[in-house]
Amino acid sequence: MRTFHLFEVFGVELEYMVVDKDTLKVRPIVDLIIKEMTGEFTSDVERGDIAWSNELVAHVLELKTNGPSPSLKGLESRFHEEVVFLNRLLEKHNCMLLPTGAHPFFHPNQSVIWPHEYNEVYALYDRIFGCKGHGWSNLQSTHLNLPFANDAEFALLHAAIRVILPIIPALAASTPIIESKITGTIDTRLAYYSKNQHKIPEIAGAIIPEAAFSKAEYERLIFNPIANAIAPYDTEKVLDKHFLNSRGAIARFDRGAIEIRLIDIQECPKADLGIVELVVLAVKWLISKHEHNFSALAESCSTLELAGMLHEIIQNGSRQPVSNAAYLSLFDLKTPQTAINIWGSIFKSIETELSDSAKKVCVDILKHGNLSERLLKRIHNDSAEADIKDVYIELAACLAENRMFQA
């Protein structure tokens, strides 16, 4: 396996729901669509620099960079081209792709676990955890993979990502509605995600990964406890430790990358890639700022302190105050700030490095709020399901046309 240095390449994965165009109900036909493309029930379809993959449930399809991409430039348009292509394929089934990190009407009893390749893994997960709940079968995210070449690079990357994770939902929350109800939580996907493996708490930990800054430390603090905890359930050793690890960022030593998992899928690739660019540059900025004072980056806040901030922002969104002085000092901030104001400060520091498209996305979110907050401005507490449906039909149009949703 070839290794890549920090920020030399990128991996991006976007997950979408397949729904009926008229009712918006989920349609578990991803296997059928893949068979129509390839002639067989398989897990992957390669289409040049973009590939498709199945997910745990048969109504979710993942689009991803087909291997490491040397640049984020051009990915927005390529992902949108695939969305347009897929919507054309889905048309004959009266279906389309739907964005956001959770379906607003979906009920867990509508879940169909992927029945083909890797089914033994999914079936075991289902037996252990019961994967027909919202935290399993109703969550769509953007995954961002960033490379490291050795332990020294891993330490810097992991330390910076741990610092950025708590404020990601302020920027990227898109899930305020579950089962036709406003939940009162800005990032409901992550609220479910943080609890869906409580049966074996070692798997997800505190969502913020432990302060491990070498492969050996990561094995000791994260992988070994996972392996010991899962052993009574996985007697045939079907589940891989990399696959099991469900923290908000996971180290893939088999790939030489860290995968960030806390970004809700947005309304369109323009928004997804805009957020990805900002997160990448925020991590890069933190590393460049603190690489000669690594202890500040790695030790200023404990895992529990970072996790506490994360869960407050999951609940309350971009206006959640952050008052931890040690955390704020990492961003050169001296007084308490809202989570979105921290992003505003980061934006000012790296604005010139953003693409024009990403800059517009970031300005829009900083001014008008994350997608959850914009949806809540449009959908009021007394909204009927029909009104919610109309808004999500508009979101499907945003995806098809690659445009931002306006409150």
Contact 37, 45 (CB under 8 A): yes
Q: CA 356, CA 370: separation in Å to the nearest integer?
A: 19
Q: Tokens 């949108």 correspond to what residue?
A: 80
What CA–CA distances, in Å, run from 121 to 128, 143, 209, 236? Answer: 11, 20, 24, 11
What per-residue confidence (pLDDT) applies to 382? 67
What per-residue confidence (pLDDT) applies to 263? 98
Q: What is the number of other CB atoms lying within 10 angstroms of the CB of residue 304?
A: 10
- Amino acid in position 122: Y
- Kindly list the structural domains of the chain, giving each domain's residue range(s) and its CATH number in brackets, ordered by start: 11-401 (3.30.590.20)
Query: pTM of the full predicted structure?
Result: 0.96
Contact 309, 324 (CB under 8 A): yes
CB-count burial class (<10 Å; 0-12, 13-18, 19+) for 235: exposed
Q: Tokens 């604005």 correspond to what residue?
A: 351
What per-residue confidence (pLDDT) applies to 131? 62
Q: What is the pLDDT along the chain (407 residues), one digit of tens a residue?
A: 789 999 999 999 999 999 999 999 999 999 999 999 999 988 899 999 999 998 878 899 999 999 999 999 999 999 999 999 999 999 999 999 999 999 999 888 788 877 877 667 777 777 777 767 677 778 899 999 999 999 999 999 999 999 999 999 999 999 999 999 999 999 999 999 998 778 889 999 999 999 999 999 999 999 999 999 999 988 878 787 788 899 999 999 999 999 999 999 999 999 999 999 999 999 999 999 998 999 999 999 999 999 999 999 999 999 999 999 999 999 999 999 999 999 999 999 999 999 999 999 999 999 999 999 999 999 986 678 888 999 999 999 999 999 999 98
What per-residue confidence (pLDDT) applies to 237? 80
